[in-house]
Structure formats: structure tokens, C-alpha cells
Amino acid sequence: MRRLSAFLLVVALAVHACAQATGGQGSPVLLPVDEHSFAQIRAAAKGKVLVLNFWATWCKPCLEEFPHLVKLQKHYEAQGLDVMFISVDDDDAKTTRRVRSVLATMGVEKPSYLKKSRNDEGFINAVHPSWSGAVPTTFVYDRNGKLIAMRSEEMGFDDLEKIVVPLLR
């Protein structure tokens, strides 16, 4: 199961890299992630400033801050920023369609992730042991992969810029 999970993630990261190279045209790509494969998402972003946003379709504040994160990506992508969205929604077909629909509406062109784990607590702890599981939560890592900020609250564009911009210099 872990091998399959690792294989899927390698494929996912290849798609991610390909989509980035091509500018990510088309409908949003949604990739699975679980407690085993999460670390590889972070590892793949090494060398970039990584903003990881955990959200859900049922979470109103998440949807309200979404445009700020999309804008942040567009503003600072060329300087080495990578904003990734990880949905913690259930992964049934109906909900997955809803997740894709939100991503498309928000104009997310890059591949995003959907939690695919039967062990929510294991997933939460794999992301960070101090994370309560509350959404929205945004994690910011520097270019070396060091955690710089973890915010369990709705963030505005200015809030995000304050944390991210110094790391891009």
C-alpha cells in the first residue's frame, strides 16, 4: 500500500512539474496525498518558498481567503514562490467534483491535492504535530524547507505578503 502510495506521488509530482513547465493550462489537476506521501510534497518544493494551504469546501473562511493565496502565487511565482492547496474534504466522487469546481472557480491552474487517508489524525500529525486539524491553516516554509509560520486563521493578502516577501529575497 505504501509502495502504491509512493508510486502515485511520484507520478503526481511528475505531473506537477510538467504542469508548472507548461504553465498549467486546462482544468485543475487534483492529486491524492496521505500521511505517508505528504513529506514528498514538501521535499519536491525545496529551493522554493512554499505556502501550503489546508482548506475544505465546507469551510467558508477558507473560500474567502482563497483568492488572496491565488493572487500571492501569481505575484511572486517568478521569484520562487510555490503556493499549494491541500483539501481535507472527503474523497468521495461527489465531494471531489465539488473540490475541482472550487479550484476551477478560484482560477487555480497548478496541480492541487486532496487528502486521501482513512486516518485523519495520522495525516494531521504528519503535517505537523502542533496542528490541531483546524482549517483554514496555512504553513509557510523557507527555501531550505524550514517551517517559518503556521497560521490557523483566515489570512489576507497583506498578512501573507508580510511573511512570504522577506523569504523570497
Partner 1 sequence: MKKYLLVGALVLAGAFLLILPSDSSVAGAVEIGKQAPPFTLKDPDGKEHSLSDFLSSHNYTVLMFIATQCPISNDYNERMAALHKDYAPKNIAFVGINSNKQEGVEEIKEHAAKNGFAFPILKDWNNIVADAYGAQVTPEVFVLDQQAVVLYHGRIDDARNPAKITSHDLRVTLDALLAGKPVSRTKTKAFGCTIKRVKKES
Q: Which of 61, 67, 107, 156 binds partner 1 (CB under 8 A)?
A: 61
Q: Give the DSSP letter of residue 157.
A: H
Task: For residue 64, state whether it binds partner 1 (rule: CB under 8 A).
Answer: no
Number of amino acids touching partner 1 (CB under 8 A): 30
How far is residue 58's CA from residue 104's CA, in Å, rounded to a whole number? 16
Q: Does 99 bind partner 1 (CB under 8 A)?
A: no
How far apart are CB 124 and partner 1 at their closest, in Å?
Answer: 5
Number of residues written out for the chain? 169
Pairing mode, strands 30-33 and 112-115: parallel
| Whole-number CA gyration radius for the chain | 15
* Least Cβ distance, residue 24 to partner 1 (angstroms): 27
Helix (H, G, I), strand (E, B) or coil at 28: coil
Residue 95 interacts with partner 1 (CB under 8 A)? Answer: no
Q: Which region among 12-20, 36-44, 72-80, 123-131 touches partner 1 (by CB under 8 A)?
A: 123-131
Closest CA to 115 of 46, 47, 57: 57
**Residue selected from 60, 67, 74, 97 as contacting partner 1 according to rule CB under 8 A:** 60
Please answer whether residues 30 and 24 qualify as being in contact, where contact means their C-beta atoms are separated by less than 8 angstroms: no
Binding site for partner 1 (CB under 8 A): 56, 58-61, 88, 90, 120-121, 124-125, 130-137, 147-154, 162-163, 166
